[in-house]
Amino acid sequence: MTASRLVRLIIPCLALPGIALAHAAATGPVYTLIAAHSTLTYTFIQAGAANQGKFKAFTARFDPGAKTLTVVIDMRSFDTGDAQRNGLLGGRDFFDVAQFPQARFTSTQLRRTASGYVATGTLTLRGVTRTIAVPFTWRVIGSGGRQIGLLEGTTVLKRLDFGVGQGQWRATEWLSNAVTVRFALRMASAAR
């Protein structure tokens, strides 16, 4: 047997444990959003007062086995409860929803912590992609014969890192750079 033929036989055998591990890591249920029972809100400080908004349309998928979390937000679905503020935030100086109708978070790493988990990944918002870390808690409860996952957490983003606030709105004296994002996601399990 030639050395090259031996190498061709050995290399696929060496790859088998990795394939088995990848398959083993991707077992168990995948969880998808139950939109009617989930919330995604944000709070910012304007002129010293806290203002809150929410997104009405978004999707999420969590695969604990593969350690992946993906959240896609319809940026046009935001609402602050004030029509004038909505008009400003949806415009070119802020979310610019006409040009950037979607935001996406995709995890690249998931690690366990003393209080829950941290998903590190990329957030693309207003056409800008940055790496962020999102802490969250996760628990599974039984409901009607199926598993329901509860994924909850809070993270703080800097709006200027994503270009949210152009022109006069780049200043932080009247409008905070920090935006607190809170999420409470109820998720249904599904077989692979």
The answer on pLDDT for 19 being more than 50 is no
Rounded distance between C-alpha atoms, residue 185 and residue 35, angstroms = 8
Mean pLDDT in residue range 121-137: 98
pLDDT digits over 50-86, tens only?
Answer: 999 999 999 999 999 999 999 999 999 999 999 999 9
Work out the mean pLDDT of the chain and round it to a whole number.
88
- Do residues 33 and 59 make contact, with C-beta atoms less than 8 angstroms apart? yes
Strand partners, 165: none
State residue 83 phi and psi, 5-degree precision: -60, -40
The per-residue DSSP string of 114-158 comes to: SSSEEEEEEEEETTEEEEEEEEEEEEEEEETTEEEEEEEEEEEEE
pLDDT of residue 125: 98
The answer on pLDDT for 147 being more than 50 is yes
Alpha-carbon radius of gyration of the chain? 21
- What's this model's pTM, rounded to 2 decimal places? 0.83
The answer on pLDDT for 15 being more than 80 is no
Q: How far is CA 77 from CA 72, 103, 151, in A?
A: 12, 11, 21
- pLDDT band at 191, cuts 50/70/90? low
Strand partners, 157: 179
At 83, list the tokens: 């029509």
Identify the CA nearest to 45 among candidates 156, 134, 185, 190.
156
pLDDT of residue 128: 98
pLDDT digits over 162-183, tens only?
Answer: 999 999 999 999 899 999 999 9
- pLDDT band at 154, cuts 50/70/90? very high
Hey, what domains does the chain have and what are their CATH numbers? Answer: 28-190 (2.40.128.110)
- Element at 89 (helix H, strand E): helix 83-90
Per DSSP, the three-state class of 40 is strand
Rounded distance between C-alpha atoms, residue 45 and residue 52, angstroms = 9
Rounded distance between C-alpha atoms, residue 159 and residue 47, angstroms = 16
pLDDT of residue 142: 83
Rounded distance between C-alpha atoms, residue 34 and residue 39, angstroms = 10
pLDDT of residue 54: 98
Q: How many CB atoms lie within 10 A of CB 132?
A: 20
